[in-house]
Structure 1
């Protein structure tokens, strides 16, 4: 493939994609630095702590087993709904890929400075498809792990195996929570990818808007003075 020709034809989209990835990377570098200073800086850290304390409390008080099963059932239902939503979005994205030639002409009406080639449209749709597939597998894996926790959390003899200890069960539940968060994050990142279908400028603007939104959503409430 002729690299200079590729840069000439798709340079603006390549630059917009690189800039968007850099913006996201800088945000997560900043977020990781804050989390290293304070593990509960983000709402995810607070949720991790809450899940850990919840598992320890439930396993130390067997009378809470019904409440535990109901809570985990609600988690499974939510993750299953999100996995089903991801499946529908995957089907819709595949439908878009089959209409590249006709849709690309109309969707690129507002595309200023970007390429209008059908090949580029397919690449954009593939990126969107991969994003939804990641979301699907994240939610499905979250359901799988919580199904394990449903039985582990009611184990009458947690000392029978080290993986049945309350701390180990809490780690498994936290992995499920992290996967659920990854699935939701994949849905969030689908927004700039969708705007990319209209042109590279829309991708950059949508990425900046998403990062500003995540900066507010990710941070936990500071302690009162």
Structure 2
């Protein structure tokens, strides 16, 4: 089998594996909304927002909690920028690295143009992670002001359920950023060879299954 065929087969298998996992996850959530830990987290945020807006004595605690959330997202967005810069540096060394990084599979290494394609895929995922974390920070900055409004005075788009919806949107963006980070692991191993891409993809799906599943299920 040619080296190009091995690369394409590894990519097809990895994509099919991830798509199959997410299809399985969607089916399970339709059967049981509490199957994933994400649903529990969303409900917890809704209850938390309602309690904070009802009890004004918890304003400081809420702002501190959101500040920690913002700091975590900011740190990960900054890390994504550094990783993007490092990935761009790799793209300029395709001629040398495309051969030296394939020591594990015994191949001479793909053509530099194909190796650059791998780097571009890695770069794309990191950019998605950056924007996801940046959107998390943006939404949380609005929630900080909204959550300080007393429930008796909040109505319309400022009602507790709407504020909770915005907080959950920030949580979804944060989750997208984390999943993008997780996806970089198989892509990094792909730089060393198609076989490692397959193994890393299997490991990623197993890790996601453990992380996504509600421990009570």
Selected match of 2:64 from 70, 89, 93: 70
Q: TM-score of the superposition, structure 1-length normalised? A: 0.91
Deviating beyond 6 angstroms after TM superposition, the runs of 4 or more aligned structure 1 residues are none
Quote the residue 2:171 is aligned against.
177
Quote the residue 1:199 is aligned against.
193
Please say if 1:133 is aligned against 2:127.
yes
Quote the residue 2:79 is aligned against.
85
* 1:220–1:124 distance in 2 versus 1, CA, 3 Å: same
Q: Which moved more, 1:36-45 or 1:97-106?
A: 36-45
Quote the residue 2:118 is aligned against.
124
- Give a deviation string over 1:64-123, Cα, whole Å, max 9, x none: 111110000000000000001101100110010011101111001223568621011100
Please say if 1:14 is aligned against 2:8.
yes
How many positions carry a matched residue from both structures?
217
- Give a deviation string over 1:37-65, Cα, whole Å, max 9, x none: 22221111111111111101111111111
Quote the residue 1:4 is aligned against.
none
Q: Aligned equivalents of 1:158 and 1:8: distance in 2?
A: 69
Q: TM-score of the superposition, structure 2-length normalised? A: 0.95
Give the aligned CA root-mean-square deviation in angstroms. Answer: 1.8
- Give a deviation string over 1:109-158, Cα, whole Å, max 9, x none: 22356862101110000000001000000000000000010001112466
Q: Aligned equivalents of 2:39 and 2:91: distance in 1?
A: 38
- Secondary structure in structure 2 of the residue aligned to 1:109: coil
Q: Aligned equivalents of 2:106 and 2:206: distance in 1?
A: 24
Please say if 1:58 is aligned against 2:62.
no
- Flag structure 2 segments of 5+ consecutive residues without an equivalent: none
Instruction: Map 1:24-39 onto structure 2 (within 5 A).
Output: 24-39=18-33
Quote the residue 1:189 is aligned against.
183
Alpha-carbon contact 2:132-2:176 (below 8 Å) kept: yes
